[in-house]
């Protein structure tokens, strides 16, 4: 990058930040320098611990905020004007997120992120022109929400092993099977489903992707009660669900490539999970009531560096996707990096808090870290297990021999 280009970029981002702050000042209340310490929700949970009623209420508030900022020109920043965006470089979305963190606004939950950051880019990559016109603007504005119908009881990270069948019947497809661990299915309007359409083909070659309306006859959604009390995961049963061929996403038999686009975006989104928590760790340190020793300072510094590195890795992959390239193994690197950062975060915070992470003393922002401690290990499985990510890196980056199939 030339000096003139660098100066232009720095000037442009500074002006963008000022513009964003002016708009945020008009529509939201700022939080104090400690990011609102002592007020509001102190949750740092990795997985939402909501009842069905709480999920509907909170997602409704999030949708209202997403629509407000979209209509004001602050949503879909890196998308083209055709879909309500401004055509800005991808890193401007991170800049806006950083500015928004200083204001009391609803934070997107997993379903909002899946809709905007996973499903929408997949449709942009694989959808027909009619599908793009139908879905993209609606998904980016959250007029429609979409979840992933990927995992199955006997095929979690092994997506190529799915058994849900889609059988062609004229201009329609008939879907039969079961999906599981589907976040947000009760409040979503659509699900991106990966189904087996050719049982005689090789595992990866016999799959096709569909956009399934979740209010279609034959769709049954059952919440899965978590041991923590929440119910944001679901089983989704497809019992002879009929959908038109126009609901097919990508070519027949091309479902694996469609799924890889979504999975790469999911791993990219997961790759940012460990980076945003550092601000909350720093706020916690300010209110511990004691100074950190030399070892603790070193551990927190390591978390900060890891968090910034994670953000930069995410920007790199987003830039590739914005340029029209298929996401590479960098997304898997980011996902592995994020799960390790989350693990280290739990360990550091548990050390800093001591008994306060295990016993609720009533202090704001203390015992709430127990949900992070208990939830972080789950992301070693979510979005593709750590073992799957290592296989991808080993085979596609390092050129190691593939694992035996037998």
3-class secondary structure, 32: coil
Confidence of residue 182 (pLDDT cuts 50, 70, 90): very high
Give the burial class of 207: count Cβ atoms within 10 A of its Cβ; 0-12 exposed, 13-18 middle, 19 or more buried. buried
Lowest-confidence segment of 193-207, 219-233, 309-323 by average pLDDT: 309-323
What's the token pair of residue 94?
Answer: 């991170």
Distance CA 352, CA 197 (A): 52
Instruction: Compute φ and ψ for 148, nearest 5 degrees.
Output: -100, 125
**Among 80-84, 127-131, 179-183, 375-379, where is mean pLDDT lowest?**
375-379
pLDDT in tens, 226-284: 766 678 889 999 999 999 999 999 999 999 999 988 887 665 554 445 556 888 899 89
One of 48, 266, 330, 371 is an active-site residue; which one?
Answer: 266
> At residue 375, does pLDDT exceed 50?
yes
Quote the radius of gyration of the chain (alpha carbons, Å).
22
Higher pLDDT residue, 79 or 225?
79
Helical axes 330-353 vs 294-322, angle rounded to 10°: 150
- CA nearest to 336, candidates 390, 296, 403, 294: 390
Is the Cα torsion angle 386, 182, 162, 329 positive or negative in sign? negative
pLDDT at position 2: 56
- pLDDT higher than threshold 90 for residue 337: no
The distance between the two most distant Cα atoms of the chain, rounded to a whole number of Å, is 71
pLDDT tens for residues 62-107? 999 999 999 999 999 999 999 999 999 888 888 898 899 888 898 8
The predicted pLDDT at position 388 comes to 79
Cβ count within 10 A of residue 379: 20
Q: Contact, 219 vs 212, CB < 8 A?
A: yes
Q: Answer yes or no: 266 catalytic.
A: yes
Percent of the chain clearing pLDDT 70 (strictly above): 87
**Average pLDDT, rounded, for the chain:** 87
pLDDT value at residue 223: 93
Which pLDDT score, from 0 to 100, does residue 112 have? Answer: 95
Residue-wise over 328-341: b if at least 16 C-beta within 10 A, else e? bbbbbbbbbbbbeb
pLDDT in tens, 4-29: 555 556 578 899 999 999 999 999 99
Q: Report strand pairing: 190-196 vs 146-149.
A: parallel
**pTM over cut 0.85:** no
Who has greater pLDDT, 391 or 200? 200
Q: What are 24-66's pLDDT values in tens digits?
A: 999 999 876 555 677 777 888 888 888 888 999 999 999 999 9
* pLDDT given for residue 271 in this prediction: 44
| 101: phi then psi, degrees, rounded to nearest 5 | -60, -20
């Amino acid at each position: 990058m030339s000096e003139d280009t660098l100066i232009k970029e720095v000037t442009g981002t500074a002006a963008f930040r000022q513009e964003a702050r002016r708009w945020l000042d008009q529509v939201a209340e700022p939080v104090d320098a400690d990011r609102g310490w002592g007020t509001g929700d102190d949750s740092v949970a990795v997985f939402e611990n909501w009842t069905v009623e709480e999920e509907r209420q909170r997602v409704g508030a999030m949708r209202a905020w997403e629509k407000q900022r979209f209509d004001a020109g602050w949503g879909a920043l890196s998308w083209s004007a055709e879909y309500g965006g401004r055509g800005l470089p991808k890193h401007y979305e991170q800049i806006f997120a950083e500015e928004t963190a200083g204001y009391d606004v609803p934070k997107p939950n997993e379903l909002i992120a899946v809709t905007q950051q996973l499903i929408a880019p997949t449709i942009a990559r694989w959808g027909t022109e009619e599908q793009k016109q139908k879905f993209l603007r609606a998904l980016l504005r959250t007029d429609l929400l979409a979840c992933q119908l990927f995992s199955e009881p006997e095929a979690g990270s092994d997506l190529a092993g799915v058994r849900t069948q889609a059988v062609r019947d004229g201009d329609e497809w008939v879907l039969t099977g079961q999906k599981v661990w589907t976040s947000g299915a009760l409040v979503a309007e659509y699900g991106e489903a990966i189904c087996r359409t050719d049982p005689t083909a090789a595992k990866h070659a016999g799959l096709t992707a569909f956009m399934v309306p979740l209010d279609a006859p034959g769709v049954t959604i059952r919440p899965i009660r978590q041991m923590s009390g929440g119910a944001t995961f679901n089983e989704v049963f497809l019992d002879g669900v009929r959908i038109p061929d126009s609901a097919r996403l990508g070519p027949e038999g091309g479902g694996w490539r469609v799924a890889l686009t979504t999975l790469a975006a999911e791993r990219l989104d997961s790759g940012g999970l460990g980076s945003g928590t550092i601000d909350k760790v720093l706020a916690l340190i300010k209110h511990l009531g004691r100074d950190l020793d030399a070892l603790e300072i070193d551990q927190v510094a390591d978390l900060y560096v890891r968090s910034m590195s994670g953000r930069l890795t995410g920007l790199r992959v987003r830039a590739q996707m914005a340029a029209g390239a298929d996401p590479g193994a960098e997304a898997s690197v980011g996902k592995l990096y994020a799960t390790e950062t989350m693990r280290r975060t739990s360990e550091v915070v548990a050390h800093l808090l001591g008994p306060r992470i295990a016993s609720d003393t009533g202090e704001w922002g203390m015992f709430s870290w127990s949900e992070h401690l208990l939830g972080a290990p789950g992301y070693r499985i979510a979005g593709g297990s750590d073992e799957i990510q290592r296989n991808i890196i080993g085979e596609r980056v390092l050129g190691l021999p593939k694992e035996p199939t037998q």
